[in-house]
Structure 1
Amino acid sequence: MIYNNNNTFIPIQIIGTQRSGSNLLRLILNQSPLISAHHPPHILNVFHPILHKYGDLNLNDNFSRLVNDVCRLVEVNPVKWDLNLNRNEIIKCCTQPTLIEIFKVIYEMMAQKDKAIYWCCKSMANVNYYSDIENNGLKPYYIHLIRDGRDVASSFKKTLVGEKHTYHLAEIWKTDFLKAKEVYHNVGKDRYLPIKYESLISDPMKVLQEINTFLDLSLDKSALHYFDSNESKRTAEAGFMWSNLTQPIMKNNTGKFLENLTKEDIEIFERVAGDILQENGYKLCSTHNKKEFTQEEIQNFDDLNLKLKTAAQNSKHLKVDRECRVKRKELINELTTILTL
C-alpha cells in the first residue's frame, strides 16, 4: 500500500476532458473500500476564477466566507454528499488559508467518513490548476483518461452542460490534452497514468491491472459491478447524461461520432485537433486542409454555439438535469455577481 510521508490520505486526480468516461472510472474506483470517489462539486473550477473577490485570505473573515461558500456549493451538488460540513471544523483543519487547502480538507473529511485511504476527484478541469495543487503541497496520482475527441464532442452535444459547437469542443479537447501532457512532464511517470477510454470498455480487467500496479491496489472483477452501487444509482438519478451508469460497461460505445456528427462537424474537429487525434492513435476521416479558420468563421461558430447551448437549456428530455441543478445554478449566479465584499 502506498502512503505519503505522514501516513495521511492519498489524493487521486482524474484529468482529461469531461464526457470521456470519467464517471465510469470513478464508480469503478469507488468499488474499492480503500477509495472514496464521490461525484465532484467542481470546487476549484467554480471558485478559482472568482477567488479575487474574497480579498486577502489571511484575514479570518475573508477565509471563513470562502469556506462557507465552498461548503454551500458541495451541499447543492446534483449528486448529494452524505457529509456534515462543519465550517468551524474545516477552518480548524486547514493548515493554510488557500482554496486548495479547503478543497483538500473537504475531500479528506469524506474519505475519513468512508474509512478510506485514497480520495479521488474526477473534476477533470482541475488539470488547469495542477500547479496550484502541487504548490499547495498536494501530490496527487494523476489518471489521464483519453477518449476520441470526436466521440467526446458527440456526447457533449446531447447534454445540458458544456459547449456545443464542434469547433469549441475540439479546442477544449486539444487544450486539455496538452495540459495533461504538461502534468506528465512535470510530475513524471510515477504519478501519471494514461488510460484510453476505448481500452477501459473493451478490456477492463487489463486496465484494472494497470491501475492496481499504479496505485498498489487489488481491484478485481467485483469492481465492474459498479452499476449496482448506491453511488451509481444516485448519479444516474441526477440526469439524462449519466443514465448509462446503472448499466454494465458498453463495450461497443466507440465511433458514435460517425452517426451523430455531420461530415462538416468531423472536418472542423479534425482541422482543429487532428494532430492530437493522430498522436493518440485515432485515424482521421477527412482530407481537410490545415488552413486556420478566419475570424469571420470563428464568429459564426460562436453564434451557432450560443444558439445550441440555449436549445440545450430548453430541451424537454433534459428536464431532470435542469431540475437537479437549479439550486447550484442559483448559488453560482449569486457568487459570480458579487461585486464587493
Structure 2
Amino acid sequence: MSAAPGAESPVFIIGTERSGSNLLRLILDAHPRICVPHPPHFMRYLAGLADSYGDLHVEANRKQAVDDALGLLRRHIHPWQHPIDPQRVLREAAPSVFGVVAAVYDQYREAEGAARWGCKSTFMVEHVEEVVAHYPKARFVWLVRDPCDVASSAKRAVFGPSHPYRMALLWRAQQARAMAALGGLGSSMVHLLRYEDLVSNPREEIERLCVFLGEKPEPAMLQHHRSSAARRTAGLAEAWRNAALPVTPQRIGAHRTGLTPHERLLVDKVTGPLKSHLGYPVEPGAQALPAPSPVLVAVRSAALRTRVEYRSMRQDRNYRLRLGRDVYVRWLRVKARARHHYPWSTAGTRPSPASPRGAA
C-alpha cells in the first residue's frame, strides 16, 4: 500500500471567486490531515512583480520577495493564526515567487500539525504550470458554478468585478484555463467539482473528492460549519456570512432574483458555449444580444462598486484591513517600477540586458 499523501502534494482550489470556494476551503480544512488557511492571494499580487526582483538565487533579491509576501500576510483581511518566521522562509524558499509562497504555506502546515496544505486562491488557475514544476504530485480541485449565480453573488460582494458583464468575461477566461489544465494534466491531477452537485449531494461529493485526494473521508467535513474557523470567517465580512451555516442548495439559482433578465442574457452571451459544455442551461437568444457599451458598463460598474464599498464600510469587521491591503499592493507596484527604472539599487543582483536570464 502506498504512503498517504503528504506535504509534497498540496491541494489547490481553482476556478473563479464567488463559486463556493470558502465553503470548499472549510470542508477541506475540517479534515485532520489537511489545513487550508484563508489565502492572502500571494501569487495574484506578486507574480506580476517577479521580474523586478531579479535573480532569486541571490539572497538579497529573494529577501525582497519574502519581505513583500510577508507584508501582504500582515495586512491579510483574514489574519492567520500562526506567525511565520521570515528567516526560515528565506532559507527554505526555492528561487521563485511561488517558491516563497510554498515555503510560507509549508511553515503554516507544520504549525497546524497537518500532513498537507491547501490553497483556496482560485487565481492559482493562472499558475498551474508553476505549481506542477514545484510539486509534481499537487492536486487541483476545479470548482465551477453557474456563471449567472457567480455574477449575482459578485454584484453584492467586495471581491471581484461587480458588473455581471465583467464577471462573465472573467469567468469565461478562468474556466477556459481550468479546462486546459484538466485536458493537459488529466483527471488524476485535476478534479472537476460542480458547486451545485456539492451542495445538493455533499456526502457523495465529499467522498468522491477524498478518493481523488487519496484521503479517508472524515465526518467533520460534513460538519465544517461548526468549526471555529467557520465561525471566525463568517464574523469578518458580510460576503462570508454563510460560512457558519450547514451545506444547503438554497443558493442554486440565486440569479433569478439577483440579476435582471437583461443581465442574465449578457452573462450567457459571454459564457454560452463553455457554460453549456459544463452542463448549465443557456438563455435562448443570448448570442443575438448586442455587446454593451464600454462606457455604460464602466459607469454601472462604478455605481455598483460605490454601493458595495459603502455597505462593506458599515458592516465588515475587516474593512480597514482590506483598504490597508489595497494601499500596500499599490506600494509594491511602485517599488517594482522603481527597481526596473533604477537598476543601480540592486546592482550586481540582476542579469544585464545583454545576458538575459536563461540564456546559454
Q: TM-score, normalised by structure 2?
A: 0.88
1:75 deviates by 2.1
1:319 deviates by 4.2
1:8 deviates by 4.1
Residues 17, 125 of structure 1: 8 Å contact kept: yes
Task: Tell me, yes or no, if structure 1 residue 305 matches structure 2 residue 306.
Answer: no
1:15 match: 14
Task: Return the alpha-carbon distance in structure 1 between the equivalents of residues 276 and 173 of structure 2.
Answer: 15
1:84 deviates by 2.0
How many residue pairs get aligned? The number is: 336
2:198 match: 200
2:177 match: 179
3-state SS of the aligned residue for 2:10? Answer: strand
Residues 8, 117 of structure 1: 8 Å contact kept: yes
1:252 deviates by 1.9
2:74 match: 75
Instruction: Specify every segment of 5 or more residues in structure 1 that has no aligned partner in the other structure, as ranges.
Output: none
Taking only the aligned residue pairs, the percentage that are identical comes to: 25
Task: Return the alpha-carbon distance in structure 2 between the equivalents of residues 299 and 138 of structure 1.
Answer: 45
Task: Return the alpha-carbon distance in structure 2 between the equivalents of residues 279 and 92 of structure 1.
Answer: 46
Residues 31, 220 of structure 2: 8 Å contact kept: no
Task: Return the alpha-carbon distance in structure 2 between the equivalents of residues 139 and 337 of structure 1.
Answer: 36
1:291 deviates by 6.2
The code of the aligned residue for 1:179 comes to R
Task: Output one character per residue of 1:104-135: Cα deviation in whole Å (capped at 9) or x when no partner.
Answer: 11111111111111211000011011122223
- Once the two structures are overlaid, the 10-residue window that deviates more, 23-32 or 50-59, is 50-59
1:117 match: 115
Query: Quick one: structure 1 residues 8 and 312, their matched pair in 2 at CA, closer, same or farther if it must change by over 3 Å?
Result: closer
Residues 151, 256 of structure 1: 8 Å contact kept: yes
Task: Output one character per residue of 1:278-312: Cα deviation in whole Å (capped at 9) or x when no partner.
Answer: 11221123423346627xx2343233223322332
Residues 240, 321 of structure 1: 8 Å contact kept: no
Task: Return the alpha-carbon distance in structure 1 between the equivalents of residues 259 and 338 of structure 2.
Answer: 44
1:258 match: 256
Task: Return the alpha-carbon distance in structure 2 between the equivalents of residues 323 and 224 of structure 1.
Answer: 33
Q: TM-score, normalised by structure 1?
A: 0.92
Of 69, 84, 97, the match for 2:95: 97
Task: Return the alpha-carbon distance in structure 2 between the equivalents of residues 33 and 200 of structure 1.
Answer: 20
Task: Return the alpha-carbon distance in structure 2 between the equivalents of residues 32 and 77 of structure 1.
Answer: 24
Task: Output one character per residue of 1:262-291: Cα deviation in whole Å (capped at 9) or x when no partner.
Answer: 011001011111112211221123423346
Residues 235, 245 of structure 1: 8 Å contact kept: yes
Instruction: Specify every segment of 5 or more residues in structure 2 that has no aligned partner in the other structure, as ranges.
Output: 340-360
3-state SS of the aligned residue for 1:176? Answer: helix
2:142 match: 144
1:224 deviates by 1.6
